[in-house]
């Protein structure tokens, strides 16, 4: 796909960024008019209405309230009004894509309670990190379906443990069917944001993620440039591969400045994230992707005391290349917030989330990943109202 033909920020956000300000929101009446005439096509993955800016992306579903990557977390996020719902994809032994943040399912399922799988516990090295536990690539989809999902961080989110065991591990195909059903009921598409996890690692195991993902997108009619889907990966070459398979919008995720994408490390490419966020690096990304997903710290770094420092030029530089900017991750708990926005000393108490995210919205970001999408939606509405 030629770089010059790749539609990027304005194309994927549509009228929401058509004006001079990136903080505009397409009025509901116009959004409904844009979709009413083609609601059937939209339900099947047709052209969606433009996204509001800032866009709220439900991080692993409403993971602040339900065990992550379950249909319960996805449905709650949709009910709250999240603009997009995220899925992380890893493969099973028989090549199905399932929704887990990691292939290590030790802390997100009840696999340890299944004596029939005790012998599957093993030690592996995934992207240079040694892990001991149970891994999706050692289970068939049928076997994974016998497990139940659990809360990943129960010490920080004890209320979520109420829902332990309620839901299974969903396949991405199951999520696509759920989204299509919800779209038909709503009369407008459900936006999704799947991520290819550890694609180089899985490719080396003969379980490449890109081809199966492309096949599913094509089967559900979500392979076009106007599909209500963003694809994402921390490995740039995974999005390059996807660009040759489908026209679905793509985003390159960016970790800390000194980190190096695993595919770069394996191939001997010496560049780090610091190189990718230069104007030259962003220009290269714009040749095969539509946006970037940086950590919030790449937008506004934190000082040594945990407070926010001086904003970088990343948002402006990315917008100059017509790239969408969707940073991660907004969480309500004190332990995740910049120091000046924390309330009290309890790390699990909610802090001044509105103040924190408002500061990031002021930098012109196009959206944010959030564990508690209802909070982020209120913050986005406040921000847009302040710009009216």
pLDDT band at 9 (very low <50, low <70, confident <90, very high): confident
Q: Is residue 59 annotated as part of the catalytic site, yes or no?
A: yes
Q: Is residue 223 annotated as part of the catalytic site, yes or no?
A: no
Pairwise CA distance, residues 146 & 325, whole Å? 38
Q: Which one of 96, 101, 290, 326 is the catalytic residue? A: 101
Please report the pLDDT score of residue 48 as a whole number: 58
- The full DSSP string for 41-59 is HHHTT-PPPPPPSSEEEET
Q: Is 363 exposed, middle or buried (0-12, 13-18, 19+ CB in 10 A)?
A: middle
Please report the pLDDT score of residue 11 as a whole number: 72
What's the pLDDT tens digit per position in 233-282? 999 999 999 999 999 999 999 999 999 999 999 999 999 999 999 999 99
| pTM recorded for the entire structure | 0.90
Indicate if the pLDDT at residue 23 is higher than 50. no
CB neighbours of 185 closer than 8 A, spacing ≥ 6? Answer: none
What's the pLDDT tens digit per position in 188-238? 999 999 999 999 999 999 999 999 999 999 999 999 999 999 999 999 999
Structure tokens that stand for 172 in this block: 């991405």
Pairwise CA distance, residues 67 & 116, whole Å? 24
Please report the pLDDT score of residue 8 as a whole number: 67
**Residue in 150, 117, 154, 146 with CA at minimum distance from that of residue 134:** 117
Q: Which one of 59, 198, 319, 326 is the catalytic residue? A: 59
What's the pLDDT tens digit per position in 47-105? 556 899 999 999 999 999 999 999 999 999 999 999 999 999 999 999 999 999 999 99
Pairwise CA distance, residues 336 & 342, whole Å? 9
- The full DSSP string for 131-195 is EEE-BGGGS-HHHHTTS-B--S-TTT-GGGGGGTTSS---BHHHHHHHHHHHHHHHTS--EEEEE
What's the pLDDT tens digit per position in 294-351? 999 999 999 999 999 999 999 999 999 999 999 999 999 999 999 999 999 999 999 9
What's the pLDDT tens digit per position in 144-184? 999 999 999 999 999 999 999 999 999 999 999 999 999 99
């Amino acid at each position: 796909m030629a770089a010059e033909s790749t539609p990027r920020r304005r194309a994927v956000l549509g009228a929401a960024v058509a004006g001079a300000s990136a903080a505009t929101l397409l009025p509901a009446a116009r959004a409904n008019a844009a979709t009413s005439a083609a609601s059937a096509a939209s339900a099947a993955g047709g052209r969606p209405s433009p996204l509001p800016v800032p866009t709220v992306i439900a991080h692993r579903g409403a993971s602040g309230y339900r065990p992550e990557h379950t249909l319960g977390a996805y449905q709650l996020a949709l009910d709250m009004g999240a603009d997009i719902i995220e899925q992380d994809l890893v493969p099973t032994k028989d090549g199905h894509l399932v929704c887990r943040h990691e292939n290590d399912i030790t802390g997100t399922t009840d696999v340890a309670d299944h004596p029939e799988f005790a012998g599957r516990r093993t030690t592996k090295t995934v992207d240079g990190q040694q892990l001991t536990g149970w891994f999706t690539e050692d289970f068939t989809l049928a076997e994974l379906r016998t497990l139940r999902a659990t809360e990943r961080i129960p010490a920080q989110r004890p209320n979520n443990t109420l829902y332990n065991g309620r839901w299974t591990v969903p396949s991405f195909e199951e999520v696509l069917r759920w989204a299509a059903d919800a779209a038909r009921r709503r009369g407008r598409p459900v936006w999704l944001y799947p991520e290819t996890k550890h694609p180089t690692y899985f490719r080396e195991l003969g379980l490449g993620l890109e081809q199966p993902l492309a096949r599913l997108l094509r089967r559900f009619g979500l392979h076009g440039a106007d599909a209500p889907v963003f694809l994402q990966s921390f490995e740039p070459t995974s999005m390059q591969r996807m660009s040759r398979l489908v026209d679905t919008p793509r985003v390159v995720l960016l970790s800390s400045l000194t980190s190096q994408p695993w595919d770069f490390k394996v191939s001997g490419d010496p560049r780090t994230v610091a190189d990718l966020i230069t104007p030259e690096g962003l220009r290269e990304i714009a040749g095969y992707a539509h946006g970037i997903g940086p950590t919030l710290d790449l937008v506004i770094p934190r000082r040594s005391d945990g407070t926010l420092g001086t904003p970088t030029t990343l948002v402006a530089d990315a917008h100059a290349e017509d790239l969408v900017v969707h940073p991660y991750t907004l969480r309500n708990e004190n332990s995740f917030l910049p120091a000046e926005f924390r309330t009290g000393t309890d790390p699990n108490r909610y802090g001044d989330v509105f103040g924190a995210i408002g500061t990031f919205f002021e930098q012109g970001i196009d959206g944010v990943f959030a564990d508690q999408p209802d909070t982020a939606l209120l913050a986005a509405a406040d921000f847009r109202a302040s710009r009216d």
